[in-house]
Amino acid sequence: HAGIPVHVLHAVPSLYFSSLLGRPERAARLAQLPDHDVVEGMPVTTLRHGYIPRIGLRVALPLFEWALRGHEKLLKNSDTILGSWAFPDGCAAVRVAQRLHKPCVVKVHGSDVNVVAQHPAAARAIARDLAKAHAVVVMAKSLGRELVRLGVPENLIAFVPNGIDQTLFFPRERTTGDHSTVEEHRPIGVLFVGRLEAQKGLGDLLDAWPIVRKEVPTATLRLVGVGPLHERALCTDGVEVLGAKPHDAIPPLLHEASLFVLPSWAEGMPNVILEALACGRPVVGTSVGGIADALPHEDAGTVVSPHNPRELAAAIVARLHRPFDAHRVSSFGPPSWSDSARALFDVLERARK
């Protein structure tokens, strides 16, 4: 759908005086963003909305809606408004669209529904405002079920799976073959990509790893990312900490691995799992968010309970003993970004009509 003009309002929380005081650090960095930019040919306008620490969620929606009023000329000139992130962004987008008599679609992503919506004020707004959208796009069916539970009508839910860059992420035959088992008596790689923090389940994985090593002494765990558990990971036997890596460095690491593991405590639909599947690598993940939806067959991977290192270890050991076929695993992978974009465009086009 090249040639369709898109203007992005990039929502940035604004803490007054953060740019002058230099703190909080993230808020100070965001304050330095230009008001207008062009990213990959798309005009981007920074939408600065107020944020008040401690009581932020309680007043987030009116502050966001007030900030949108400063961009009403741009919104009036649009055919369709797409709100990204359920609260407050999506809720405010629906309110403004109604006032301007414009169709509005809201796209949710995971934590906005699974975490933010646990706050009563956010849950009430999502149920009230998203019910007035023309459609609510989810990238995991579990998110749709949760929205329905919150009160969003089921007929508004549109499932559009995330895509991946298929020029980067695809199965490649390894020189030793893709049927990797412990009987080969060589190092077996397990890969984790994500922030090195407890919420990503890394503490559980580090607790599970000595159990895995006892059963599979040649197994090695490679961690890609940074975070507060970095030092602990460095002190765990059989663990290699690679630090942050650019996106195009991930496919070779996946191809070198026998298994990808993401034992998160909360997720939407993590792209890194989709990328692992696209590369033909089976996954061990937790039963949170859309992970189970991404692993619909035992050939794709294994789903375990969060917060359970022993169950996690047993699943990893079982997968390392199990042969896999990369092309069979990749058949459970996601569509391309262009296919995903086409599906989203179709939802927007229906809303416009």
DSSP for 180-207, written as a single string: --GGG-S-EEEEEES-SSGGGTHHHHHH
Helix (H) or strand (E) holding 347: helix 337-352
pLDDT of res. 25: 65
Name the percent of the chain lying above pLDDT 90: 79
Determine the Cα–Cα distance for residues 83 and 92; give it in Å rounded to an integer: 8
| Among the ranges given (3-7, 304-308, 337-341, 343-347), the one the predictor scored with the smallest mean pLDDT | 3-7
- What does the pLDDT average to over 278-301? 95
pLDDT of 23 > 70? The answer is no
* Higher local confidence (pLDDT), 59 or 304: 304
Give the pLDDT score at 2. 55
At residue 27, the pLDDT reads: 64
327 CB-near residues (< 8 Å, 6+ apart):
171, 280
What whole-number distance in Å separates Cα of residue 166 and Cα of residue 80?
A: 29
Q: What is the pLDDT of residue 54?
A: 75
- Percent of the chain past pLDDT 70, that is, above it, reads 91
Average pLDDT over residues 330-351: 94
Does residue 145 carry a pLDDT above 90? yes
Residue 177 has pLDDT above 70, yes or no: no
Q: Please say whether the beta carbons of 259 and 296 come within 8 A.
A: no
Confidence of residue 16 (pLDDT cuts 50, 70, 90): low
Q: Which of 23-32, 78-87, 247-256, 325-334 has the lowest mean pLDDT?
A: 23-32
Mean pLDDT in residue range 250-254: 96
Q: 175 falls in which pLDDT band (50, 70, 90)? A: very low
Dihedral sign from CA coordinates of 72, 78, 82, 84: negative
| pLDDT score of 280 more than 50 | yes
Which residues touch 175 (CB under 8 Å, ≥6 apart)? none
pLDDT at 69 over 70: yes
Residue among 333, 197, 210 nearest 260 (CA): 333
Query: If DSSP codes are grouped into helix, strand and coil, which group holds residue 9?
Result: strand
Rounded to an integer, the average pLDDT of 123-136 is 97
The confidence band for 176, taking pLDDT boundaries of 50, 70 and 90, is very low
pLDDT for 123: 96
Residues constituting the chain: 353
Rounded Cα gap, residues 248 and 141, in angstroms: 28
Element (H, E) at 309: helix 309-320
Ramachandran angles phi, psi of 259, nearest 5°: -160, 145
pLDDT of residue 8: 95
**Residues 196-234: tens digit of each pLDDT:** 999 999 999 999 999 999 999 999 999 999 999 999 999
Span of 3-12, 15-24, 98-107, 130-139 with lowest mean pLDDT:
15-24
**Residue 32: exposed, middle, or buried by beta-carbon count in 10 A (0-12, 13-18, 19+)?**
exposed
